[in-house]
Structures are given as structure tokens and as C-alpha cells.
Amino acid sequence: MKAVATVMAYTPVLTLKLGLGYLGLRKQAHKSAKLFRDGLVIAGMPSDLASELAEAYEADLSITRMMKSAGVSFPRRKEEKAPGK
């Protein structure tokens, strides 16, 4: 019971830290995408194509992917399990 209470006590703090960290990363990704777009346009790429690539670059930020790369595993959903298991 004590472990459950400890987890429940720290969950709001961890959620807040994760959320604020993610917002900071989004802000940095937005700045980087703008620099990326500007560099592509300076190099001679058409503006509309450069904008499309910059948007894709910025949208690539994923909390799930970051957590998986940090070693956090997620339980599989039933439809994702391998056949026969």
C-alpha cells in the first residue's frame, strides 16, 4: 500500500515535469524547423517545398519514441501481439 501511495504522490510532479520538458522540446523544434526552412530557401529550394519539409521536421517529435529510446517499455495492445500468442 505504501508503494501505491508513493507512486500516487509523485505522479502529478512527474506529469508536470514531463509536460514542461516536452513543451520546451516543441519550442526548440519550432525554432530549428524555422532555421532549417530558411537554410533550404537560401540554398535555392522553392519556398513551398522548404515549408513542407520544415513542417515534417518539426512534427517528428514524439514522446513515445523518446521514452522507448530511453529504455521505457510499453505493454502491447491485444491487436499488436504476434499471432498464436
What's this model's pTM, rounded to 2 decimal places?
0.59
**C-alpha torsion sign, points 14, 12, 58, 27:** negative
pLDDT at 61: 75
Report the phi/psi class of residue 54: left, alpha or beta, with left for phi > 0 and alpha for psi in -120 to 50.
Answer: alpha
pLDDT at 49: 95
Taking the chain (85 residues) in runs of 10, the rounded mean pLDDT of each run is 77 83 87 94 95 87 74 72 57
**C-alpha torsion sign, points 78, 83, 84, 85:** negative
Closest CA to 58 of 29, 38, 36: 29
